[in-house]
Amino acid sequence: MRNIVILISGGGSNMAAIVKTAKRDNWQAHYGAKVAAVISNRADAAGLMLARQQGIATQVLEHGSYSSREAFDAALAMEIDQHDQPGQPALLVLAGFMRILTPAFVARYGGRLLNIHPSLLPAFPGLHTHQKALQAGCRFAGATVHQVTADLDQGLILAQALVPILPGDDPHQLAARVLTQEHLIYPRAIAAWLENQGAEA
Ligand code: GAR
């Protein structure tokens, strides 16, 4: 069994889309994979409730309770590693997890650490992506699923989706349009990753 651990900080709509698709498409039977846990760095993340409603184990590790970024990442790694299975280390999925990870953490999960970013990378890494796309006068925006490396939002691109920017859009409207596409491409990219892992095993 390949366990999937999802990290969130907020609404958790991508997490919910992944959980829904995993059930609908029976990832357990097809890939021997299941969403085993949802971990948040914020106790008030709305996604925690969504996860619990789906019967998924949740854990809160508030980053403010740790003395350093390294200490937080080490505690996080201990939680995640509990979901490793013999010969099947957990797949780690960042879904609106708003923390910069230390290089040591990223190295530990190299190749099995995925993220979704609400822009067409390599354009607009970091924060305030929608505002930046509007200010730049872009006609299109989108989202990118990528492997996480030590360089922020720079890892190998696994999937992208495109949406139009419409006259009069504000960052909020654009974010909502992009989010609907995130919910489609992230579960699909994870399924593809699981499929490829199966082929390599
Ligand atoms: C999503 O738009 C995701 O792409 C973005 O946060 C939102 C989380 O929504 N992530 C980042 O900006 C990461 N740098 P959700 O909690 O409803 O899935």
Q: Residue 141 has which token pair?
A: 């925006």
Predicted confidence band of residue 130 (pLDDT cuts 50, 70, 90): very high
Q: Does 116 contact ligand 1 (Cβ within 6 A)?
A: yes
Q: Are 2 and 90 in contact (CB under 8 A)?
A: yes
Atom of ligand 1 nearest to the CA of 16: 18
Read off the pTM. Answer: 0.97
Q: What is the pLDDT of residue 198?
A: 66
Range of the domain at 18: 2-200
* Residue 126 CA to ligand 1 centre (angstroms): 11
Give pLDDT tens digits for 133-162: 999 999 999 999 999 999 989 999 999 999
Give the number of domains in the chain.
Answer: 1
CATH code for the domain of 42: 3.40.50.170
Dump strand ranges (E) for the chain. 2-8, 33-40, 57-60, 91-94, 113-117, 140-147, 157-164
Give pLDDT tens digits for 29-74: 999 999 999 999 999 999 999 999 999 999 999 999 999 999 999 9
Atom of ligand 1 nearest to the CA of 116: 4
Q: Does 142 contact ligand 1 (Cβ within 6 A)?
A: no
Q: Does 96 contact ligand 1 (Cβ within 6 A)?
A: yes
Total residues found in the chain within this entry? 201
- Segment 14-35 shows an average pLDDT of 98
Give pLDDT tens digits for 162-196: 999 999 999 999 999 999 999 999 999 999 999 99
Q: Residue 36 has which token pair?
A: 């085993």
pLDDT value at 92 more than 90: yes
Task: Compute CA 81 distance to the chain's CA centroid, rounded to the nearest angstrom.
Answer: 17
* H/E element, 61: none
* Residue 165 CA to ligand 1 centre (angstroms): 18
Which amino acid would we find at residue 94?
L
